[in-house]
Amino acid sequence: MADEHQLAPENRDRALLMEMFSAAVKAADPAAVLARHLPEPPSGRTVVVGAGKAAAAMARALEEHWSRPLEGLVITRYGHGMLTRHIEVVEAAHPVPDAAGHRAAQRILSLATSLGENDLLICLISGGGSALMALPADGIEFADKQEVNRALLASGATITEMNCVRKHLSAIKGGRLAQAAWPARCVSLLISDVPADDPSTVASGPGLADATTRAEALAVLGKYRIEAPEPVLQWLQNPASETPKPGDPQLERTEARIIAAPSLSLAAARAVAEAAGYTVVDLGDRVEGEAMEVGFAHAEFARELAAGRVPVKRPAVILSGGETTVTLASEKGQGQGHGRGGRNAEYALALAIGLAGVEGVSAIACDTDGIDGSEDNAGAIVTPDTLGRAEALGLDARAMLDGHDAYSFFSALDDLVVTGPTHTNVNDFRAVLIPK
């Protein structure tokens, strides 16, 4: 293989971007981080349950380091399963729940209710768990919950807002799983994919008390003009829909341990960049907002930095994490706009348009779980000649952005990043390289 310094600049930049992304993912690998966070074994049974895109990998890592008998069940996304010895792995749909996730969630609740005072419930929780572990509250049909979930995904609501609604429509989230396991001890091991790493928000916090209210859930539906089915509205108006709150005596034996988080992954990427001689501008791991708007904003900042109007030594890299959203054009009264592409590809396309070919600037935007939205890519790479190559192929970048068709755009350029499932999830990773 050619020495890195012998590569053309654009290839060096691409290699560095991929190295930073790989470091970010590795820093959240359950195999590397879970063991040091394990609780003490109980005198009774150990039951392991969980849900999320990293659930199977977390289960395998737990089995490798647990010396006592254990049993249990975790739910992960289709294609994200792994072989385990004692903990059953069920694959289900994400981001819209399906019957497989529904059935598995019922079994998880049954396992929790079977525990006694001397037993331990370990909850392996990661991003995606809200959709995967779907068990509606009494009186709500599963189809109604699917409908609300679809509407939330298309609305532009933040992950915190979506999970507030999900908690109050669930028989298992928002602390209800830990409540069902009482008086057993309940320890949640979390891979965080949420802003500020609020443990109760990761996968809607099945093992932890919930500070949000049913009134807030109704307000979210109203804010985004979501016409929920009548049984959903009736349930949210019922005091029984309120989740267990901090201080609830049935949750006094609960505990949460964050084993991986976006900030740790950004730190790993930062180390790679600094070793390559880059000054790091870290925008933090809590970036939210519309993907295209964030892309345009980051492009403007990159232009200012490249032009020397920002007091940062170059070469530099702009790092950020968090979770942006995509509001479909049809939800904003602007036509259908149902193209292919997740939030990272959409961010990357907006960034490319905003950069307009600024000399030497390249970037990457990927979801650390390896799946951008519902496509088969993790994200995309932007190069200084992205728009020029697109124009030569007859692609209209702005029209494709407006139509939410970023996947097709970057696919045509062979600039999609395809990793397959990474078996972890600490949200989005973005890096923009500014030349010297």
Give the burial string for 309-325 (b: 16+ CB within 10 Å, else e): ebeeebbbbbbbbbbbb
pLDDT score recorded for residue 331: 47
254-313 pLDDT tens trace: 999 999 999 999 999 999 999 999 999 999 999 989 999 999 999 999 999 999 999 999
At 188, phi and psi to the nearest 5?
-100, 125
State the number of CA atoms in the 13 A half-sphere of 195 facing the CB: 14
Q: What is the pLDDT at residue 6?
A: 57
Distance, CA of 138 to CA of 145 (rounded, Å) = 12
pLDDT surpasses 90 at 337: no
Q: What is the greatest pairwise CA distance in the chain?
A: 68
The whole-angstrom separation of Cα 242 and Cα 329 is 34
Which is more confidently placed, 339 or 408? 408
**How much of the chain is in helix, strand and coil states, percent to nearest 5?**
40, 15, 40
In angstroms, rounded to a whole number, what is the distance separating the alpha carbons of residues 314 and 330?
Answer: 42
* pLDDT score of 378 more than 80: yes
Amino acid 255: pLDDT: 97
C-beta separation of 389 from 413 below 8 A: yes
Query: Is the Cβ–Cβ distance between 395 and 411 less than 8 Å?
Result: no
Q: What percent of the chain has pLDDT over 70?
A: 96
Evaluate if residue 334 carries a pLDDT over 60.
no
Residue 145 scores a pLDDT above 60 = yes
pLDDT tens per residue, range 196-213: 899 999 999 999 999 999
Q: For 29-68, what is each residue's pLDDT tens digit?
A: 999 999 999 999 999 999 999 999 999 999 999 999 999 9
Helix ranges (DSSP H) in 66-136: 99-113, 129-132
| Cα-based distances in Å from 219 to 78, 158, 214, 233, 320 | 32, 13, 9, 11, 30
Q: What is the pLDDT of residue 154?
A: 86
At 1 the pLDDT is 40
Torsion of CA 388, 393, 394, 399, to 10 degrees: -70
In what order do the strands lie in the sheet containing 120-126? Answer: 87-92, 71-77, 46-51, 120-126, 185-191, 254-260
Q: What is the mean predicted confidence (pLDDT) over 168-184?
A: 98
pLDDT value of residue 339? 80
Quote the CA–CA distance of 219 and 106 in Å, as a whole number.
28
Q: Which residues pair with 430 in a beta bridge?
A: 320, 365
For the cut 50, the answer to whether the pLDDT of residue 2 exceeds it is: no
pLDDT at 388: 96
Mean pLDDT of 214-243: 97
d(CA 38, CA 425): 19
Write the pLDDT tens digit of every residue in 387-431.
Answer: 999 999 999 999 999 999 999 999 999 999 999 999 999 999 999
Spell 125-151 as b/e; 16+ CB within 10 A means b.
bbbbbbbbbbbbbeebeeebbbbbbeb
pLDDT at 328 (0 to 100): 75
Q: With beta carbons less than 8 A apart as the criterion, state whether 94 and 128 touch.
A: yes
pLDDT of the residue at 336: 47
Question: 363, exposed or middle or buried, with CB in 10 Å at 0-12, 13-18, 19+?
Answer: buried
pLDDT band at 228 (very low <50, low <70, confident <90, very high): very high
Query: Which residues neighbour 358 within 8 Å (Cβ) at sequence distance 6 or greater?
Result: 302, 303, 306, 384
What's the pLDDT band for 329 if we cut at 50, 70, 90? Answer: low
- The pLDDT of 15-39, averaged and rounded, is 97
pLDDT attached to residue 3: 52
**Domains along the sequence of the chain with CATH:** 33-260 (3.40.50.10180), 263-434 (3.40.1480.10)
Pairing of strands 279-282, 316-322: parallel
Give the predicted TM-score (pTM) of the model: 0.89
Segment 349-370, tens digit of pLDDT: 999 999 997 999 999 999 999 9
Q: If you average pLDDT over every residue of the chain, what do you get?
A: 94
